[in-house]
Amino acid sequence: MPERLTPDSPTAARPGRPRGATAALVLADGTVLWGRGVGAAGRRVGEVCFNTSMTGYQEIITDPSYAGQIITFTFPHIGNVGTNVEDVETTTPSARGVVLRMDPTDPSNFRAMQHLDAWLKSYDLPGIAGIDTRQLTRRIRDAGAPTGVLVHAPDGAIDIDAALAEARAWPGLEGMDLAREVTTRQAYSWDQTPWKLGEGYGTAGEGSRHVVAVDYGAKRNILRQLAGRDCRLTVVPATATAEDILRHKPDGVFLANGPGDPAATGQYAVPAIRSVMDKGLPVFGICLGHQLLSMALGAETRKMELGHRGANHPVKDLTTGKVEITSQNHGFVVVPESLPGDVETTHVSLFDGTIEGVRSRKRRAFSAQYHPEASPGPHDSHYLFDRFIQMIDGKS
C-alpha cells in the first residue's frame, strides 16, 4: 500500500516501509510506492504516465517521445520475451525509468538475446517492480499524470524527503522543448527497410523519391516504412530551417514524432514548416509532427488531462468511415475550435473525440496524431504512408 506523507514528515525510521525494499516511486503529492529495484541504480525525475500495450515494451522504452517520462506498464508480464538488438527505436533511450507489476522473469522467446534487467542496466535506466500498477493507473486516470521521482538504491538507502523535494520542484512537461534533446545533431541518410521474419531488416535501393525527414524524436520504424516504399531518406535535425530542408531538393517532407510541448518546439519549427509548405511540397506529420503541422496551418495545441498511450486506441477515419485500432503516445492535442476553415479533421478518437488527423484544403499537407508505423500495434494504419507516396507522385 502507498505511504502518504505530509510536507513536514520525517524520513527516519518511517513506518510502513517494507523489509527489503530497494526502490521507491515518490509522487509530488506525497504518495510513496515501495518496491524492488530493477535495471540501473539511480534516481530519476519525470512525469509518471501509463501504457496499456501488451506487447512491444522494448520499442516503447526506446521511443524518443517518452523523453521526460517514467513509464508505468499496465500489462504485468513485462520482460517475458527478453530483449534483442533489433527491437529498438533509437540509439539512446530518453525515458526516465519504468514501473512494473512483477519482477522480470527469465525470457522465453527465440529472438531473446538479453534479460530485461541487464538490458535496462546497459542503458542506465532504473526501474521499480512489485508496484500495484492498477492502483497507480487509476490514480493517473482520475487525477492526471503526476510528477514523480523513481529511486533505485540496491543498498536500500533511499532519502524520501530529498526525492519528494525534487518531485515538487520539477516544472513538468508543459513548456518544455524536448525535441532539441533527442534530435540528431547532423543530417544523415537512412536506407533500412522493415523487418521480416527470417530475414531481419532490408536495405533500400537508390529510391525513386527523395524525402527529407525532420527528426523531432523519430522512431526508426517510421523511417523504415518510408524507405520500404522506394524512398531515399535524408534525416535532418529538429532545428533545421526551411533553407536547410530545401537545400536537399526533396520530393516530400516528413515531420517526425517527438516529446515535449509542441508550443515550445513550434517556436522554431513552425516557421520552417510554413516556408516548406509555401513551396508547394507535400508534407506529412506524425504525432508531434502532426501537432506542429497543425500549428503551422493556424491551429493551437493544449496539454491533455489524460494522454493517449497504448496499442488499443480506436480511431475513425472520417473520409472512409473505417475504424482503426491504433498505437498512440501523446500528452498534447490539437484544439478543435482553433482549426481554420481551410483545415479539416480527418480522424477522431473514439475514446474521447479528440482530433487524430487533419488535412489542409489549400496545401499539400496532412497528418496523424497516432503511430501508423505500428510497432507496437496492428497494421491498420499503414495506408497513411501510401497516401503520402501518392501525394508525392501527384496522384492525390
Q: How far apart are CA 265 and CA 243, in angstroms?
A: 18
Closest listed residue to residue 286, CA positions, set 174, 366, 180, 377: 366
Indicate if 179-392 has the same CATH topology as 3-169: no
What does the pLDDT read at residue 14?
A: 44
What does the pLDDT read at residue 396?
A: 77
Number of neighbouring beta carbons within 10 Å of residue 131? 23
Q: How far apart are CA 356 and CA 319, in angstroms?
A: 13
What does the pLDDT read at residue 395?
A: 85
**Catalytic sites, residue numbers:** 287, 371, 373
Q: pLDDT tens-digit profile of 204-229? A: 999 999 999 999 999 999 999 999 99
Closest listed residue to residue 375, CA positions, set 201, 235, 218, 219: 219
Which sequence spans correspond to the domains of the chain?
Answer: 3-169, 179-392
Instruction: Provide the CATH number for the domain formed by 179-392 in this structure.
Output: 3.40.50.880
Q: pLDDT 10s digit of each residue in the chain, 396 long? A: 444 434 333 333 344 788 889 999 999 999 999 999 999 999 999 999 999 999 999 999 999 999 999 999 999 999 999 999 999 999 999 999 999 999 999 999 999 999 999 999 999 999 999 999 999 999 999 999 999 999 999 999 999 999 999 999 999 999 999 999 999 999 999 999 999 999 999 999 999 999 999 999 999 999 999 999 999 999 999 999 999 999 999 999 999 999 999 999 999 999 999 999 999 999 999 999 999 999 999 999 999 988 999 998 999 999 999 999 999 999 999 999 999 999 999 999 999 999 999 999 999 999 999 999 976 566 889 999 999 999 999 987
Peptide bond preceding 376: is omega within 30 degrees of 0, i.e. cis?
Answer: yes
Q: pLDDT tens-digit profile of 288-342? A: 999 999 999 999 999 998 899 999 899 999 999 999 999 999 999 999 999 999 9
38: three-class secondary structure by DSSP: strand
Q: How far apart are CA 195 and CA 367, in angstroms?
A: 24
What does the pLDDT read at residue 375?
A: 63
What does the pLDDT read at residue 377?
A: 60
Instruction: Provide the CATH number for the domain formed by 3-169 in this structure.
Output: 3.50.30.20
Q: Which pTM value belongs to this model?
A: 0.94
48: cell is 509518471
What does the pLDDT read at residue 6?
A: 40
